[in-house]
Structure formats: structure tokens, C-alpha cells
Structure 1
């Protein structure tokens, strides 16, 4: 059980690194703005007070160290998703990682963004209040696909470094 936990956390964080690398590519080549982690930190800070939805997170009261907190939340969620995926798939998946389940799981995680985070930030369900919601949705699908592929790739790399001890 502990092995599945640490393997899941590692692949989740590695997949998050891959999403961040993709964001940099989008920023450099297509001039897509990078995520504002301070606003994610602000939103997460307000959830501690059971305030999950805002009309505009920019107008919400700032929270201490929101930029740093946003990054911690970003990688923490990646680790939690990786752990959840690991427990869903079982240790055998880490021994023989398959891309399709990881990709499907990555796509499923869009639900948290579309139906919790985005409305929480004040941009509507599935980014419906953004200037170009379908562009945002497409980029979300692409990013979460990359996250799923990152889970698989990280599991392959991890298996080559630390083979799974099946008993």
C-alpha cells in the first residue's frame, strides 16, 4: 500500500511538471498566458473558510502567500490525482503501465476543473464566462490529456529506476 502511495504521488507530480512544460511551450509559441498561481492560491485559501465560489477571484480578499500557496496546491492536486489513479489501477499497473487508462483518467480529471475550480474562480462552468470558452475547453482537454500521458510516461521511467516489488 505504501509503495502504491509514493509511486502515485511521484507520477502525479511528474505529470504536473509535464503540464507546466506544455504551458511554457504554449506561452512562447502561441502567446497563451501562463496560469496565475496567485489566484489559485487565493481560491484555495478561501476554501478553508468554506467559500468555494466567487463572482471574480480577482476581487476576493487576498490571502497570505497566495502565489506560493497556488503552486503548492497545483502540485498537491497532481500528487493526489496520481495517488488516486494508482489506487484505482493497483500495483500491477505500475509494473506494466498502459497508456489508455492513464489518458482516460487524465481526461476525467477535467471535471474538477470545469465544475469546481473554474466556477470557483468566477469564470463559469467549463469556462462559460470566458471570452472564448471553446478555446479554453480545448486547451483544458489537451492539458489533461498531457497529464494522463505524463502519468504513463512517469510510471515507465519510475519502473526502470525502481522496479515494482510484486508479491
Structure 2
């Protein structure tokens, strides 16, 4: 149990880091904007006031510490998805990771932004209220495939380090 938990933390942080590296490459190479995690932090912080949905979140007043809160939540969610993968694939996956379950987990993790985060931030289901929904969706798919690849890569590194 402890091994699965520690492995999930390692893999989740690694995978989220790969996802963030992908976003950085996209921004630097192509000028592609990525999600501002301060907005996620603002959304979370405003929940204490009973506000769960915004139209859009940018209209809500900034909250002290929102950027840090958003980034911490981003990594915590990555760890949670890694733990779900380990639970579904079994703890042996951490010792002998395979790419397909990791990529599948990355694709399934799209449910979170499409059906929770984007609607709550005022962007609609699957970014339907954004100026270019298809572009936003494709960016999300690419980001979450990068996360899935990161799940696999982090597990491979972990398996080699802890042998």
C-alpha cells in the first residue's frame, strides 16, 4: 500500500511535470497560450464563499495566493490521476509500466477539464463557450496525451531507480 502511494506521488508529479514542459514548449515555440493556474486557484478560493461557477472566472476579483493554490491543486490532481491508474492497472504496473494504460489514463483525465473545470470557469462544457472551441479541445487533448506519456515515463524512471 505504501509503495503504491509513494509510486503514485512520484508518477503524478513526474507526469504533471511532463505536461507542464509540453505547455512551455508550445508557448515558446508556437506562442500557444496555456491555462493560467491562478484562475484555478481563484475558482478554488471562491468556493469558500459558495461560488462554484463563474461567467467567466476572469470577472471574479483576484484572491491572495491564487497562483500558488492553483499550481498546488494542478499537481495534486496529477497525483490523484496517477493513483487511479495504479489502482486500475495494479501496483505491479509501477514495476513494469506499459504505455497503453498510461495513455488511456491521460485521455480519460480529459473528463476533468471538459466536464468540471471548463464549465465552472465559465468556458462551457468542453470549452464550448470559448472563441475557438475546437482549438481549445485539441489543445486539451494534446496536453492530456502529454500527461499520459508522462505517466509512463515517470513510471519507467521510477521502476529503474527503485529496482
TM-score, scaled to structure 1: 0.93
Match of 1:117 in 2: 117
Q: Quote the residue 1:6 is aligned against.
A: 6
Query: Aligned-residue CA RMSD in angstroms?
Result: 1.2
Residue 133 of structure 1: aligned partner: 133
How far the C-alpha of 1:49 sits from its partner, in A, is 4.2
2:160 matched residue in structure 1:
160
1:27-70 C-alpha deviation (Å, 9 max, x unpaired)? 11111123211111001112344432111111123322001111
1:91 to partner: Cα distance? 1.1
- Secondary structure of the 2:131 match is coil
Number of positions where the alignment pairs a residue of Structure 1 with one of Structure 2: 163
Which residue of structure 1 aligns with residue 55 of structure 2?
55
Tell me which residue corresponds to 1:43.
Answer: 43
Residues 30/54 of structure 1: CA separation in 2 closer, same or farther (3 Å cut): same
Gaps of 5+ in 2: none
1:29 aligns with 2:29: yes
Specify the SS of the correspondent of 1:67. Answer: helix
Residue equivalent to 1:20: 20
Provide the rounded CA distance (Å) in 1 between the counterparts of 2:34 and 2:112.
Answer: 19
CA contact under 8 A between 1:42 and 1:63: conserved in structure 2? Answer: yes
Query: How far 1:89 sits from its partner (Å)?
Result: 1.4
For the Cα contact (< 8 Å) 2:8–2:79, is it kept in 1? yes
Unaligned runs of at least 5 residues, structure 1: none
